[in-house]
């Protein structure tokens, strides 16, 4: 599943390309979207704005209609100039929104639905979503309260829960807990408030940095620019199993964790 900063950048790119422009063509491989288009056409509407809400992308059209998409593990939005060749096969297209200047294509998006204002207010995932780490403001007290409500769960699993704080994905989960020296398998109730606050603040700082200046998921700033190599050169622990810890030299470990067996990377010496 994409991290919150990737979703934020996706929404920002879509907004820059589409906002203020009139829809000239709309298609979808999803019958639920097509039915709404047939009854109340999307063509002729203006794309008012595109924004991220946690890991959801909301494309807002004139007339009070919003298209909510969620990428899950394999979905993505692409932007093309009219007539430009797509980088993915047409069979992977789920949503197509065209204007005179750009075409936006959602490939393999598993979640897509139309929402009017009332429907958006009632949408279960949006209503239950925790404070957005990439929002203009962040309610740290509310996020801390939500962590405490899940005291029996491992802290790594709690940080991944979008109903606690929206935006942290599997990479940031491992990186933030390493930076804050927290054992990812510790029950949330046993992690002190100041450690939880530090983790939330660190996640917010890194996410915001990676949508403004760093580009991509960079959490280790000691990497040498221009030397190439994989993404692990930009990270403390994620993707670095059996490589030496950047702090103490202990080999980094990796283990599947949680109900979805997401990989957790950690240093057994630094994170105790």
Per-residue model confidence (pLDDT) at position 37: 97
Domain 4-128: give its CATH code.
Answer: 3.20.190.10
Dihedral angle of Cα 73, 29, 59, 219, to the nearest 10 degrees: 20
CA–CA gap between residue 103 and residue 96 (Å, rounded): 7
2 labelled catalytic: yes
268 labelled catalytic: no
103 labelled catalytic: no
Asked, colleague to colleague, whether 4-128 and 140-266 share their fold, the answer is no
Confidence band (pLDDT; 50, 70, 90) for 244?
Answer: very high
Per-residue model confidence (pLDDT) at position 80: 98
CATH 3.10.510.20 fits 140-266, yes or no: no
Kindly report whether the global pTM for this prediction surpasses the value 0.95.
no
- In this structure, what token pair is assigned to residue 110? 């598993």
pLDDT over 90 percentage in the chain = 82
Nearest to 17 by CA among 104, 106, 105: 104
CA–CA gap between residue 52 and residue 12 (Å, rounded): 8
Confidence band (pLDDT; 50, 70, 90) for 73?
Answer: confident
Domain boundaries along the sequence of the chain: 4-128, 140-266
Per-residue model confidence (pLDDT) at position 3: 79
Active-site position among 48, 55, 175, 184: 55
pLDDT tens for 187-231 read: 999 999 999 999 999 999 999 888 876 556 777 666 555 455 566
Per-residue model confidence (pLDDT) at position 140: 97
């Amino acid at each position: 599943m994409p991290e919150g900063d990737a979703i934020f950048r996706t929404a920002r790119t879509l907004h820059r390309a589409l906002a203020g422009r009139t829809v000239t063509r709309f298609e979808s491989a999803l019958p639920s979207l097509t039915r709404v288009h047939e009854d109340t056409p999307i063509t002729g509407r203006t794309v008012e704005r595109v924004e991220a809400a946690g890991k959801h992308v909301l494309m807002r059209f004139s007339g009070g209609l919003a298209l909510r998409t969620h990428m899950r593990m394999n979905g993505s939005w692409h932007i093309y100039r009219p007539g430009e060749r797509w980088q993915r096969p047409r069979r992977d297209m789920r949503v197509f929104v065209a204007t005179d200047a750009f075409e936006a294509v959602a490939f393999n998006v598993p979640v897509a639905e139309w929402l009017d204002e009332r429907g958006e207010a009632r949408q279960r995932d949006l209503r239950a979503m925790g404070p957005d780490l990439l929002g203009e403001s962040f309610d740290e007290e509310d996020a801390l309260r939500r962590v405490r409500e899940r005291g029996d769960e491992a802290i790594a699993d709690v940080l991944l829960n979008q109903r606690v704080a929206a935006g942290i994905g599997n990479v940031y989960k491992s990186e933030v807990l390493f930076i804050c020296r927290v054992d990812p398998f510790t029950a949330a109730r046993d992690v002190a408030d100041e450690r939880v606050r530090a983790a939330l603040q660190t996640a917010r700082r890194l996410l915001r940095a990676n949508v403004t200046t760093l580009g991509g998921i960079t959490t280790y700033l000691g990497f040498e620019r221009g030397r190439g190599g994989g993404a692990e050169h930009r990270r403390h622990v994620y993707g670095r199993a059996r490589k030496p810890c950047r702090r103490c030299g202990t080999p980094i470990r990796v283990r599947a964790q949680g109900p979805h067996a997401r990989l957790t990377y950690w240093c057994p010496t630094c994170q105790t």
